[in-house]
């Protein structure tokens, strides 16, 4: 493996949820320890399963892994770190500031940026305090801080007065108000990250167009702040020798190879490693030992029968949705789970039944919109340009909120307006203009804002509070977008996930965020399921078996209702293939 050659002291693995970075980090730690190196493995992943992987309870203290000499591990609990961080900041103002202001502060500090900065606050000492790490030759981090977080830490000064009521719509700078350590320590940490001799970053991706685009964005963002020592790992590559007699396996191979041929230009010069998809779950020492090797002796017996799955189809969900005759249907989920495709599939299925549907999306890949345009009666499609509406929103905030700031304050505001939350707010405002149509037809919305963003909009006195204030005492009936989203009779939220551990955990976290915003998810969709289609490949059959546990977790622990959608041989683009996704599982064609 190229990323293991002349390995640096600090090794960071980063990538979207579900790409396998935790497994690769664990396998790397084991391999370095086996070579005689003393290794500390540190996880800052909110959905960390390092302890589960090794079969040891770890927690927020350095723990030796008994079965692996010279290997210790530490799990920084980012949620606990974030809560302690919030308590330090909010505690002194309780009972001093008005309750509305305190609630606004708490919401400003409830998002992912606070969690990430608090976790960075925890492991900064591991980068800068030699006394704490003297016993280790390599420190491996599972989940690195994003370029946005590092840029925030590099900014000079403090965000004075940011948390005062009505000061701004920004979302990520509020957490900086709680940074109490000296600036020199953060400067030293950032310097360590940027030092190619001490630090190496490994971007983990899948051989999928969306995953590779995300890796390219991360690469560019990190290079811009001086973190140039980067390697790329393409994980879970389908073995070509499994594709011979299985049409689905052959299609997966062909799709992955096409994605690699079209790999973004930014990634082409990077040292790149390829790790084959394994038939087994990457839990336990023996499985991890096999991850970074070329061959896999733990092959699956070809005689194993494919597991059978009995689950509701997407058409069963649409049956219930259609009964209302109109309403808002929101598809939510983390990147890479296929929510854009699911939104299109729901819209096409409703229109196919003769119901009026408006499908709106902010997906940058507009080819889906172009494929659907004019191909089905009763269906209209619109696309919101995230870049355009975000630029307009930033300009408005800088003109209004930034007008009274000094140069340093304006620089902080400009940095915060580069956060993902800013785009979510801007896109939501554009979506709000479409939402009102749901009173007379179906509106299917893709790429919806997270629960944190919705709460942020409400807590800062955005649209909802202003409308309520203006309408009080008029005797007129009114409904704000937030109220419509909270009303299950008007809005149905569908969470999209994959039948894999990390995507299911991330969807569960999103569900908790939505509930905190007073929005109850209506159903879950498990997308791209191998268990829901027919396969002959021994590897795919074993993967199907692995899926059953995750689907059971969705049914048992999370979803009030659900559907399972099969992985198709062809990309689900166009009306015919989208309709195929809705077929009952028992009647699925060999696709």
Which residues does the annotation mark as catalytic? 18, 20-23, 45, 502
Q: What angle do CA 44, 18, 34 make, to 5 degrees?
A: 60
Our measurement of the distance from residue 442's CA atom to the centroid of its chain's CA atoms, rounded to an integer in Å, reads 27
Residue ranges of the alpha helices (H) in 447-556? 451-459, 463-471, 481-486, 501-516, 538-553
Quick count: other Cβ atoms within 10 Å of Cβ 589? 11
The tokens for 441 are 């037809």
The tokens for 304 are 């194993």
For residue 277, give every residue at least 6 positions away whose Cβ sits within 8 Å of its Cβ, in sequence order, or none: 236, 237, 238, 239, 539, 543
Phi and psi at 276, nearest 5°, equal -75, 150
Q: Parallel, antiparallel, or unpaired: how do β-strands 491-498 and 523-529 relate?
A: parallel
The tokens for 325 are 């005759």
- Put the strands of the sheet holding 357-361 in their side by side order: 379-383, 357-361, 442-445, 327-332, 491-498, 523-529, 562-566
Contact call for residues 288 and 237 (beta carbons, < 8 A): no
Residue 208 carries which DSSP code? S
Residue 570 carries which DSSP code? S
The Cα 452–Cα 109 span in angstroms is: 10
Half-sphere exposure of 194 (CA within 13 A, CB side): 16
CA-nearest of 561, 41, 23, 536 to 320 is 561
Contact call for residues 509 and 271 (beta carbons, < 8 A): no
Q: What DSSP assignment string belongs to 317-370?
A: HHHHHHTTSSEEEEEE--TTS-HHHHHHHHHHHHHHTT--EEEEE--S-THHHH
Q: What angle do CA 400, 405, 406 make, to 5 degrees?
A: 145
Contact call for residues 167 and 412 (beta carbons, < 8 A): no
The Cα 536–Cα 525 span in angstroms is: 25
Element (H, E) at 286: helix 285-291
Contact call for residues 25 and 55 (beta carbons, < 8 A): no
Q: Angle formed by the axes of helices 78-90 and 99-108, to 10°?
A: 150
Instruction: Please report the sign of the dihedral spanned by the C-alpha atoms of residue 91, residue 96, residue 99, residue 103.
Output: negative
The Cα 297–Cα 370 span in angstroms is: 46
The tokens for 520 are 């109850």
CA-nearest of 265, 150, 264, 263 to 199 is 150
Burial of 351 (0-12, 13-18, 19+ CB in 10 A): buried
């Amino acid at each position: 493996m190229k990323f293991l050659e002349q390995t640096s002291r600090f090794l960071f693995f980063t990538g979207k949820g579900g790409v396998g970075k935790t497994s690769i980090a664990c396998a790397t730690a084991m391999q370095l320890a086996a070579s005689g190196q003393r290794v500390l493995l540190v996880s800052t992943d909110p959905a960390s399963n390092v302890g589960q992987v090794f079969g040891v309870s770890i927690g927020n203290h350095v723990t030796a892994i008994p079965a692996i000499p010279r290997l210790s591990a530490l799990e920084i609990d980012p949620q606990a770190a974030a809560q302690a961080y919030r308590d330090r900041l909010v505690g002194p103002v309780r009972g001093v500031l008005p309750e509305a202001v305190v609630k606004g502060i708490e919401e400003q500090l409830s998002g992912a940026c606070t969690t990430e900065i608090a976790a960075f606050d925890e492991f900064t000492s591991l980068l800068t305090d030699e006394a704490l790490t003297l016993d280790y030759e390599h420190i491996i981090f599972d989940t690195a801080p994003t370029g946005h977080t590092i840029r925030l830490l590099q900014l000079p000064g403090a965000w004075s007065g940011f948390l005062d009521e009505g000061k701004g719509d920004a979302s990520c700078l509020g957490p900086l108000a709680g940074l109490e350590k000296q600036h020199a320590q953060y400067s030293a940490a950032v310097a360590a990250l940027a030092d190619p001799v001490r630090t190496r970053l490994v971007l983990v991706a899948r051989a999928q167009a969306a995953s590779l685009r995300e890796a390219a964005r991360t690469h560019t963002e990190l290079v811009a702040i001086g973190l140039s020592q980067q390697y790329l790992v393409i994980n879970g590559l389908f073995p070509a020798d499994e594709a011979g007699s299985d049409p689905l396996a052959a299609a997966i191979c062909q799709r992955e190879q096409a994605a690699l041929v079209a790999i973004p230009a930014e990634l082409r010069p990077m040292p790149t490693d390829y790790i084959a998809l394994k038939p087994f779950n990457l839990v336990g020492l023996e499985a991890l030992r096999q991850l970074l090797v070329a061959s896999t002796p733990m092959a699956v017996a070809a005689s194993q029968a494919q597991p059978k799955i009995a689950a509701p189809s997407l058409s069963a969900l649409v049956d219930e949705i259609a009964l209302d005759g109109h309403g808002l249907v929101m598809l939510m989920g983390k990147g890479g789970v296929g929510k854009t495709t699911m939104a299109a599939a729901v819209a096409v299925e409703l229109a196919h039944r003769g119901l009026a549907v408006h499908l709106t999306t902010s997906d940058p890949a507009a080819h889906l919109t172009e494929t659907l345009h004019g191909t089905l009666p009763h269906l209209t499609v619109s696309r919101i340009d995230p870049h355009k509406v975000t630029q307009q929103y930033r300009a408005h905030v800088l003109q209004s909120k930034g007008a009274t700031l000094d140069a340093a304050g304006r620089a902080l505001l400009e940095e915060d307006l580069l956060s993902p939350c800013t785009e979510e707010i801007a896109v939501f405002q554009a979506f709000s203009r479409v939402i009102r149509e749901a009173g007379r037809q179906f509106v299917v919305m893709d790429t919806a804002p997270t629960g944190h963003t919705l709460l942020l909009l409400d807590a800062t006195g955005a649209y909802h509070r202003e409308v309520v204030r203006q309408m009080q005492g008029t005797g007129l009936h009114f409904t704000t977008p937030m109220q419509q989203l909270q009303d299950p009779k008007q809005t149905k939220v569908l969470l999209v996930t994959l039948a894999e551990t990390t995507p299911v955990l991330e969807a569960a976290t999103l569900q908790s965020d939505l509930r905190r915003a007073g929005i109850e998810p209506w159903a879950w969709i498990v997308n791209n399921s191998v268990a829901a289609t027919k396969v002959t490949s021994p590897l795919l059959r074993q993967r199907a078996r692995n899926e059953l546990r995750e689907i059971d977790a969705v049914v048992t622990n999370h979803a009030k209702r659900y559907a399972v959608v099969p992985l198709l041989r062809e990309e689900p683009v166009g009306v015919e293939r989208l309709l195929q996704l809705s077929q009952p599982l028992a009647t699925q064609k060999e696709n």
